[in-house]
Amino acid sequence: MENINYLNILKESFTLIILLFCSLLSFTVAFERWWFFRKARHKKVDELLAHISGMLKDGNVNKAADYTARMDSPVSRLVNYALRHREMSKGDLEELLATRRQEEKLNLERFLGVLGTMGNIAPFIGLFGTVVGIIKAFRDLALSGVGGPTVVARGIAEALVATAAGLAVAIPAVIIYNYFTRRVKVIMSELEIFSSRLVIMMGNK
């Protein structure tokens, strides 16, 4: 039985090329989201809240707004947004902050659908490649007119590689998707708690 060249299988199988593209896309999105979430999580939320509270008690509202404007995180943007609309009533401000939180959620969830999609469709692409590989194996067997493992080796190998490749793309994509989804939930919970405390601190009627 001849040795199987998997590089040639990759070149000849369009399903494996599609899965390779899916893998590169998943890796790119995962890295981009990791970098985004790395900056999005404000590590010292309580300290920020205390600092802003001190500024508000001293009447330095503009200074607090400038302070938060220099930061790049959902929490700081929420605070800055609230300070810029501080003249509104408590009810209106709470509704406005709720819409702002939804905007931040959209930013946090950007591109996560790509990871979810890759996790769902990659096994089916691999299954499709498996079916194609089996078809090639029987075609080679029919064309050769003789039996034996050598005749069907390439087709069977392509079928098995396609299945493995589909799972190799899907499993990491699903794990990363679930991880970032959990991060979104944590950050959104922090934003809800922080916005409620902020409205109380601002003392709007």
> What is the spatial distance between Cα 39 and Cα 99, in angstroms, rounded to a whole number?
22
pLDDT tens digits along 115-169: 999 999 999 999 998 888 888 777 777 777 665 666 677 677 777 888 888 999 9
pLDDT interval class at 204 (50, 70, 90): low
For the beta carbon of residue 195, count every other beta carbon within 10 angstroms: 22
Place of tokens 């979104």: 184
- The mean pLDDT value for 54-72 works out to 78
74, 41 Cβ separation under 8 angstroms: no
> In this predicted model, which residue has the larger pLDDT, 63 or 98?
98
Query: Percent of the chain scored above 70 by pLDDT?
Result: 85
- The mean pLDDT value for 168-183 works out to 94
- Tell me the whole-structure pTM to 2 decimals: 0.80
Nearest to 194 by CA among 23, 46, 13, 14: 46
> What is the spatial distance between Cα 91 and Cα 86, in angstroms, rounded to a whole number?
12
pLDDT at 11: 61
Q: Which residue intervals of the chain are DSSP H helices?
A: 6-12, 14-40, 45-57, 61-69, 74-84, 90-108, 112-144, 149-202
